[in-house]
Amino acid sequence: MRLLHIVANPSPLEYAVDRHLANAFVDALCTRAPDAAVDTVDLYDDPPPYLDGPTLRYFWQRVGQPDYEPSEIEREASAYARRHCALVRTASVIALTAPMWNASMPAILKSWIDQVICPGETYRFGDDGPEGTHAIERICVFTTSGAAYTAGEPRDCFTNLVRSAFGFIGIDRVDVVWADGQNRAIYADHDARRERAMAAAAALAADVAG
């Protein structure tokens, strides 16, 4: 098993409940599956660029023109995407760790997703549509929010986006560990909510480890 752990929270650990959830998951997973390999990428240390024209041309021109020869500018522009697509292809599980901001994910995480869902790298077009060219079995999301949410509800623009984007390349299993209701001024049970999420993170690790 190889876990690719993507972290998208600039806050220090003591203020980042989502990172505590993810750490509990990773620790429990490595205890149960000692041979598991973990690749961790902090996006604030290795920030993805926004998709631009040269990057799009590098990947998409070859969809309809297989013999297309990318320019040097296109190769340089697509370097981040190609490097991170290679990380995705070597993983069997992806963990996404980020807070919910304004009902959605941090923009830096959305940018990373845009960089790794690339034709010719993580999927191809077959006779019946897009086909994944990776070995990802599932995605585990670790998040927190000040408000109380139910995963998948219409105003949840975080986990719904993850399911839609990665479902496009054939990853249908998305597990969510969510410490919601963390606004201490509103939710008196914020600590209990966090502890339930910590227990859920450990339970998810047991399930992933098999």
Instruction: Reply yes or no on whether the pLDDT at 123 is more than 80.
Output: yes
Residue 151: its pLDDT value, please? Answer: 64
Per-residue pLDDT band for 150 (boundaries 50, 70, 90) equals: confident
* CATH number of the CATH domain containing 71: 3.40.50.360
Structural domain that includes position 163: 2-209
Phi/psi at 140 (nearest 5 deg)?
-115, 125
pLDDT in tens, 57-74: 999 999 999 999 999 999
For 37-62, letters b (16+ CB in 10 Å) and e give eeeebebeeeebeebeebbbbbbeee
Sign (positive or negative) of CA dihedral 163, 165, 168, 170: negative
Q: How many domains does the chain have?
A: 1
